[in-house]
Structure 1
Amino acid sequence: MTQLSTLTDEALLDRLQRAAFGYFVQNMNPCNGLVADTSRDNSPVSIAVVGFALSSYPVAVERGWMERADAVQRSLAALRFFRDSDQSGSPTATGFKGFYYHFLDIHTGARVWQSELSMIDTALLMAGVLTASMYFTADTPDEAELRELADFLYQRIDWRWAQDDGDTIKQGWKPESGFLHYGWEGYSEAIVLYVLALGSPTYPIMGDCYAAWTATYQWENLYDHDYLYAGPLFVHQFSHAWIDLRGIRDSFMREKDTDYFENSCNAVSIQRRYTQLNPHEFAGYDENCWGLSACDGPTDEQADVFNEERRLFGYAARGVPYGPDDGTLSPSAVLGSLPFAPERVLEAMRNILTRYPQMLTDDRLSSSFNPSVGASDGQPWVSAGHYGLDQGIVFMMIENHRSQFIWQLTSGCRYISDGLQGAGFEGGWLRQGHPGGAN
């Protein structure tokens, strides 16, 4: 950590971003392009992590971290796997109706953990698929196949089916019981889901579905900030990883005279104010030590005890100001806020890494730490291993801050532009041409 503390901001970000990229290289099955959810032994695949990996390869080529041919082959391996995967919807299939189960076996691609057919995770996967297709545009057989596969996979998804004749998109489906009983309601990371569902040329959602979703939003004033509420930081980041939401507004945001990017900036300010006030008096909290989000955490859960009182929540979506909060912070959630508040984020990252150097393993950030829960050696609790979603948001938001390269790629994607306009977004780069805006 001594070395990192002396680096310039750009050199520090370069180190952290390259280490995050290494996660996808080290935890990918080269036979099928699938990427493990975590670096822990016997981890299954998370389809969302595959989406982050597919988005990382073009950046790695541009930065000289990977040969273009290697990136193409890794991408093709994943796209070919999903094309050929079992779409029967059986309990051991890979997917159904173009969607995929949340967690898959890394060797066979079969569903594991009785996981749901996940609409949001399929959307994050498809965002990566489309990002790859916008970069690999060379007139070669491999890159042409990649683009064709991307179109096929995206157009195969039956987004309308995922509404189940309801007002909003359902969160999931299981072969044993059908659709889950709840839909995507309340502000969340689902902007990218609704945009891709609206942009589909084959099975788009009905036009009023997006308005039905935004009608469930919760607008609040927190710490003197008017703000579209969501407690965990990842909600304010994931759609921004792919979509440049600066200066473009849907009907909801036009009425509030703001945009989703500015709302995420407010989320950072609210997090900093909450940890500065530290209402539960957790160790380590202050204006430069924040980051409540979905992450791993210590647990006091008792096996086979239903609904027991708990003080520690394990893996959970922590948020402010209403909780849950058990003193666990996510450094990747801080770094994932980089485009929204660069100076504040860098200030916090340097503070966290100086105070808690055990956050880094080979320059790669752990999922989380909890200074209020000490290990036997008196050190703070630190999550073991690494999580692909953490590395993905770190990698992409550093890149969006450094070069805006991913935003430039996706703003040239007609499906995304169509989806944004279908959702009622106007202004900004959408005003300057279709598709691709300023590009």
Structure 2
Amino acid sequence: MKTKHHDLIEEIQKRSFKLLMDLTNFNENEKGYGLTLDHNLKLNVASIATTGFVLSGYIIASEYGYLSYDDALYKVKKTLKTLYYHVPHYKGFFAHFVDIHTAERYKKNEFSTIDTLLCIKGVMSAQMYFKDDEINDLANKILKRIDWKSFVHFHQGKYRFYMAYNPDADGDYAQGKSGFIFQWHMLAEQIMLYVIAAGSNQLDKKLALDLYEGFERNLGSYQGHQYYYSPGNTLFIYQYPLCWFDGKSWIDKDGFSWFENAKNATLGHRAWNLRNYKKYKTFSKETFGLTASSTPNGYSVFHAIPSVNGKPLTDGTVAPN
């Protein structure tokens, strides 16, 4: 049954896929085949996370007829070969940014857990959908070489994943020291890390549960909408984990639903926007949400309240959510 906005949503979906295709390298003679730009302001820099979204996009394209099944299958195979054979990794975790033509690590950026996660969720989705022997083999090789334990450490009395690794002391986020960088001590978009790592058979059940329970959970509310919020309370962090995970059908051992948490966060953002619509013409009951996106002043991460510092941040930009 079609909803009121079905046609509009499908048109947005179709245009979004076309944009991603325009930003993806399909040069058969380059090692970067299948990699996708982070954005169109740096035409040589691909994002490993965006590439993961595109891998999932091929499934949608095949189902809706934007591409033929065989064309989508071919593109997925070639992209997985790029990921396995050419994209640099540290213990299975990919470099965040790579050259879109050569697949080489871009400058001295970090090897990222979250961006690798977003990529491999696309890998796993394609593996499940296409059910092709070569795709299955490549996907398994990519997944099995990830050394989850190497990114676990004991921090402030709890087991937590590191966020990233950088071998260069003067590299991105390294702060003058090579090695592991920061840790997932707070709620953010990393929820699926715990699920995928637990399913890898590298972690015993206790450690997997300790990691899931090891990050801080700040409970707050806005106009009656109660939820665990991230320090900055930016909207995308609640949505990314649900892109590949049917959170509506799953709860944790304490009966907690990340789907309901995301829904309440979204409603809280909407309530804040409606309360402040006179300040920004872009805010309305159908255009709302403070998140990370390009803005007239460059890339920004906007956030609502509740938040750790108790202050909202926006310039009125509303990005698709």
TM-score range, shorter chain: 0.7 to 0.9
1:370-381 equivalence runs, <5 A: none
SS at match of 1:242: coil
Q: 1:10 aligns with which of 6, 9, 16?
A: 6
Query: Aligned letter for 1:184?
Result: W
1:187 Cα deviation after fit? 1.5
Q: Partner residue of 1:150?
A: 139
SS at match of 1:250: coil
Residue 26 in structure 1 maps to residue 10 in structure 2:
no
1:323/1:49 CA distance change after superposition, 3 Å: farther
1:280/1:194 CA distance change after superposition, 3 Å: farther
1:24 Cα deviation after fit? 2.3
Q: Partner residue of 2:285?
A: 287
1:70 Cα deviation after fit? 1.1
Residue 315 in structure 1 maps to residue 299 in structure 2:
yes
1:247/1:145 CA distance change after superposition, 3 Å: closer
Query: Aligned letter for 2:218?
Result: Q
SS at match of 1:237: helix
Once residues 284 and 13 of structure 2 are traced to their aligned partners in structure 1, the CA distance between those partners, rounded to angstroms, is: 25
Residue 85 in structure 1 maps to residue 86 in structure 2:
yes
Q: 1:265 aligns with which of 238, 263, 266?
A: 263
Q: Partner residue of 1:121?
A: 115
1:250/1:192 CA distance change after superposition, 3 Å: same
1:207-356 equivalence runs, <5 A: 207=208, 208-213=210-215, 216-230=216-230, 231-252=233-254, 254=255, 258-278=256-276, 281-299=279-297, 314-321=298-305, 322-333=310-321
1:266 Cα deviation after fit? 1.1
Unaligned runs of 5+ in 1: 1-6, 87-93, 138-142, 300-313, 334-439
Q: Partner residue of 1:53?
A: 54
1:206-225 Cα offsets, whole Å, 9 max, x none, are 33211212xx1111132112
1:234/1:323 CA distance change after superposition, 3 Å: farther
RMSD, aligned CA: 2.2
1:61 Cα deviation after fit? 0.9
SS at match of 1:154: helix
Query: Aligned letter for 1:12?
Result: L
1:43 Cα deviation after fit? 4.3
- Structure having greater relative contact order (Cα 8 Å, sep ≥ 6): 1
Once residues 136 and 280 of structure 2 are traced to their aligned partners in structure 1, the CA distance between those partners, rounded to angstroms, is: 50
1:40-61 Cα offsets, whole Å, 9 max, x none, are 3524111011110111111211
Once residues 170 and 280 of structure 1 are traced to their aligned partners in structure 2, the CA distance between those partners, rounded to angstroms, is: 42
Once residues 57 and 212 of structure 1 are traced to their aligned partners in structure 2, the CA distance between those partners, rounded to angstroms, is: 35
Query: Aligned letter for 2:92?
Result: G
Q: Partner residue of 2:163?
A: 171
1:121/1:323 CA distance change after superposition, 3 Å: farther
Once residues 119 and 105 of structure 2 are traced to their aligned partners in structure 1, the CA distance between those partners, rounded to angstroms, is: 16
Once residues 41 and 204 of structure 2 are traced to their aligned partners in structure 1, the CA distance between those partners, rounded to angstroms, is: 38
1:152/1:204 CA distance change after superposition, 3 Å: farther
Residue 106 in structure 1 maps to residue 85 in structure 2:
no
1:283/1:323 CA distance change after superposition, 3 Å: farther
Identity %: 30
1:331 Cα deviation after fit? 3.0
Query: Aligned letter for 2:16?
Result: A
Once residues 330 and 283 of structure 1 are traced to their aligned partners in structure 2, the CA distance between those partners, rounded to angstroms, is: 10
1:263 Cα deviation after fit? 1.4
Query: Aligned letter for 1:331?
Result: A
8 Å CA contact 1:83–1:153 kept in 2: the answer is yes
1:188 Cα deviation after fit? 1.3
8 Å CA contact 1:51–1:126 kept in 2: the answer is yes
Once residues 201 and 145 of structure 2 are traced to their aligned partners in structure 1, the CA distance between those partners, rounded to angstroms, is: 10
1:290-325 Cα offsets, whole Å, 9 max, x none, are 1210112233xxxxxxxxxxxxxx422211124452
The structure carrying a bigger strand percent of its residues is: 2
Once residues 203 and 117 of structure 1 are traced to their aligned partners in structure 2, the CA distance between those partners, rounded to angstroms, is: 21
SS at match of 1:232: coil
